Structure 1
Amino acid sequence: MVKALREYLRKDEADRTPDLRMIAALTVLAREAIPQADGEPDWRGRTHAYREWISEAYRDAGIYGEDARKIQSAARYHVGVALRDYLDADTLADYGLAQASPVDRARTHRRVRAQTAHALSDAGGPGLKLGAALSILTDLDPAALAALPPEDQATARGALADLERRVAALIGGLSDAG
């Protein structure tokens, strides 16, 4: 791993993808080799032993702090792809890992974003706009909102109050029209 990290640092940014893939492959092999308390592989990379091994590899390669975080962030995508190439669907499910690869999730995200943009355009019409709004609101997790810092909770409350007023006005408009 140290050699792969040093090789990554040696290269220009445009030429680093193969090195990120190598770092990802070595990360997956480390997760397989470092067991959890129950003796099973640490496919999620959560054990103290695994995290120490990764930290030590970065330190041994002379990578610290923000530089280490940047490389780990860049490699995370490739680790996800490598895990899904390496593990079967049952193992992914057993460990609570999504079966869709980061590539597939990115494609889905782009498709949903395009559909939402279409729905919110004039071409989408009111029905599609309402459907998109409902979809967005349905995806909000009340527990996630409750976990926000107090100032962000206040902003969320204000936005939800504005939404409530707008919904009431729209319903009122329907009542007046019909």
Structure 2
Amino acid sequence: MNIRPAGAADLPPFFVYLDDHLRDNGRDGAPLFQPLSRAQSQLPPGLKVAFIEGLAIPVGEPGWRRLWLAVDSRGSIAGHIDLRARPEPLARHRAMLGMGVHRAYRRRGLGAQLVDTAIDWARSQDGLKWIDLEVLSENRPAVALYLRSGFAMTARIEDMLEIDGVSQDLSYMTRALG
């Protein structure tokens, strides 16, 4: 598996991959991995714009985003991870993490490789000191992955979201880069 930084030319196939990925959200008894209704199986348009514009913004500036793709031997996207600016103006020393792994590659260690890639890159950036993330608490495989990768649980908010009429707890996690 090749994990590499993504550029603007990678975004159209990445968006197709993400739409397919979102169709798995909470399907067939699996936990929700995105805070979206099971009926919403397409990437929101605003998020597409955030990726397109964010890749061109320098790290440390509002709206920056970096994306890595795991690509299999056929050239298909097997997973992704992204780091992005926090929305708070005085949190430029922190990044938010998002990731996903294609259904055919889950439970094979690819998630840990993607997290390691993002952490290694973040450590090389002047000014970044922390990586934060939010995860649906019922997504125990993701929570366990992040804990193994050195993230600490900072909060779990009960009944934070209501998705498809069901209460969902949201966990906040963070990892120091030093």
| Larger Rg over CA atoms | 1
Specify which structure has the higher proportion of helix: 1
> Structure 2 length normalisation: TM-score?
0.25
Specify which structure has the higher proportion of strand: 2
> Structure 1 length normalisation: TM-score?
0.25
Q: Which has the higher contact order (CA 8 A, sep 6+)?
A: 2
